[in-house]
Amino acid sequence: MGCDNKYNNAGVSNVSKLDLVIAGGGSAGWMAAAMLVKLLGPQLNITLVESSEIATVGVGEATIPPIRTFNQVLGIDEAEFLRATGGTIKLGIEFNHWNGPHSNYLHAFGSIGRDQGFASFHHYWHRARAEGLAEDFWHYSLNARAARAGKFAPLSHIANTPLDGLHYAYHFDAGRYAKLLQGYCLAAGVRHVDRVIEQVLLDPDNGHIQALQLADGATLTGDFFIDCSGARSLLLGDALGVGFDDYRQWLPCDRAIALPSERLAKVQPFTRSSANAGGWCWQIPLQHRTGNGIVYSADSLSDDQALVLLQQQLTGPALGEAKLIRFKVGRRRQQWHKNCVALGLASGFLEPLESTSLHLVQSAITRLVKLFPRQTINARDVQEFNRQAQTEFESVRDFIILHYHLNGRSEPFWQACQTMAVPERITQRVALFKASGRLFIEPNELFTEPAWQQVMLGQGIMPESYHTLADGLSAQQLAGFMRDLDTLYDRALNSLPSHEDYLRSQAKV
Ligand SMILES: Cc1cc2nc3c(=O)[nH]c(=O)nc-3n(C[C@H](O)[C@H](O)[C@H](O)COP(=O)(O)OP(=O)(O)OC[C@H]3O[C@@H](n4cnc5c(N)ncnc54)[C@H](O)[C@@H]3O)c2cc1C
């Protein structure tokens, strides 16, 4: 199988195809295979090796909007995708009880209101609210209003206005998605090997991976390897010895129990995240079932206690057995080392509060395509890949920590989160927002200003002031601005079908 490692040879021919081996066939493995065969198919011989004896994680059902671009690049039709995966629409996440027992807010995707020049909408809303001229913040988010009303149809912008329409992602059955991608890959020429990887063989001269030794004694050689072997990180972690940065000091949860139940009577277009005494529960509506789970810390809840909390939140009869998953939050210090890039759980894990794992797989694949080595592996490319990966991972991590840190609950687990020392980015942003409503997001950060604003407002940080530019409108103008937005959002909302009708039209529920 394969040939000599071409990256070790000085004069590789321009026409010679590289042998790319992907180890692992969970979501990460098949996503990588699909995108690489689509974009670099003529340059690569791709083999994906996985073992049907070693289960995939099998959760990973909620996503964020860029997943749509991923599917579009692959040419996957949306209706076909929704049908194949039992998918539904996700307009955001509803957070219950995070700021205290009866609290509730949404992190809705997309923009909120309309920014005015140098000051974001939030400053105008703040003044209008103080003067009794505005509804709550989420009233000016079309996504939030559609989510609450259970409505959806694709809408890129509100007709004849500069206002954004709906930003959406999907909930879907991760196992079915991997199957869909597998079919895509096999049709495009990816070779699939179902065998246990027993050993990773290294080149004694340069430490690169030479081959994977399989259970039947065969070896699978390659020029470049992608480690999608899950949390064990067989190639990057085990064989190449890349260390792991643990984030437990900020993200205390280390276990989850997943337990699907019968589909909801009404399939809502948003994920639910409900905090409890020692963690939080997710509820993810699919067409054919509801995904439920609890994420918790083994220090604060026993597995039995966690299961009871999870069972209490089920809205229908359970389907099958509860599945316990242990995990470690953190990341491999380098995601690319030698001739190996790790994706998915093999590269690290952030708990699923903001449904970011599959996105991190997607964006690492994009980064890899942009920096894909041609004749030699260039140390600068590797360095740049790792720099970008770290920046992205840490900014997503900090957004998740924000939710924990700003909680308004009284249990010891949550009080420890309130008082923990958090990364400086969070301290600085919360302090600035609290004092003045100002918020600055770095270029290329995944989570936008409205996302941070919603979590901070939703979890009790009300700014003490607003930008002076918002004083530039008379009270009458300000009231008119808010009213006009309200009218436009109302009109857009009224034109939308229910989420369920939309699914029926697309996916034949
Ligand atoms: C509780 C929980 C909830 C989550 N929720 C979400 C969510 O809502 N949204 C989201 O985006 N992400 C979520 N995730 C993350 C998501 O599930 C994973 O990031 C994603 O499924 C990618 O997993 P993976 O492919 O890296 O690993 P895995 O699914 O573990 O796949 C590993 C693959 O490697 C193969 N393998 C391993 N060892 C060997 C070997 N020795 N020989 C041969 N093959 C081998 C296995 O057969 C398997 O095919 C969640 C994760 C957890 C733990």
**Of the residues 307, 326, 345, the one at which a domain ends:** 326
Q: Is residue 491 one of the residues assigned to a domain?
A: yes
List pLDDT tens digits, range 452-479. 999 999 999 999 999 999 999 999 999 9
**Of the residues 326, 353, 370, the one at which a domain ends:** 326
Say yes or no: 446 and 488 in one domain: yes
Residue 325 tokens read as 């998953």
- Centroid of ligand 1 to alpha carbon of 57 (angstroms): 4
| Domain span at 460 | 110-167+423-501
> Region 306-334: what's the mean pLDDT?
96
More confident residue, 211 or 6: 211
Is 254 touching ligand 1 by the criterion CB < 6 Å? no
The reported pLDDT for the residue numbered 375 is 81
Sign of CA dihedral 463, 467, 471, 477: negative
CA distance 443 to 457: 22
Ligand 1 pocket: which of 35, 54, 61, 85 to mutate (most atoms within 8 A of CB): 54
Q: Is residue 508 one of the residues assigned to a domain?
A: no
Closest atom of ligand 1 to 25 CA is 49
List pLDDT tens digits, range 322-343. 999 999 999 999 999 999 999 9
Closest atom of ligand 1 to 345 CA is 26
Res. 5 pLDDT band, cuts 50 70 90? low
Is 63 touching ligand 1 by the criterion CB < 6 Å? yes
* Helices 449-458 + 424-436 axis angle, to 10: 80
More confident residue, 101 or 9: 101
| Number of independent structural domains in the chain | 3
Q: Is residue 2 over pLDDT 50? A: no
Say yes or no: 304 and 354 in one domain: no
Q: Is residue 99 one of the residues assigned to a domain?
A: no
Say yes or no: 53 and 200 in one domain: yes
Say yes or no: 152 and 184 in one domain: no
- pTM (2 decimals)? 0.96
Say yes or no: 35 and 55 in one domain: yes
Q: Is residue 95 one of the residues assigned to a domain?
A: no
Q: Is residue 196 one of the residues assigned to a domain?
A: yes
CATH number at residue 225: 3.50.50.60
Say yes or no: 348 and 488 in one domain: no
- Centroid of ligand 1 to alpha carbon of 16 (angstroms): 32
The reported pLDDT for the residue numbered 59 is 81
Closest atom of ligand 1 to 349 CA is 19
Is 28 touching ligand 1 by the criterion CB < 6 Å? yes
- Centroid of ligand 1 to alpha carbon of 424 (angstroms): 31
- Centroid of ligand 1 to alpha carbon of 369 (angstroms): 21
The DSSP secondary-structure symbol of 24 reads -
List pLDDT tens digits, range 112-157. 999 998 999 999 999 999 999 999 999 999 999 999 999 999 999 9
Q: Which residue intervals of 86-237 are DSSP H helices? A: 121-130, 142-149, 174-187
Sign of CA dihedral 444, 445, 446, 452: negative
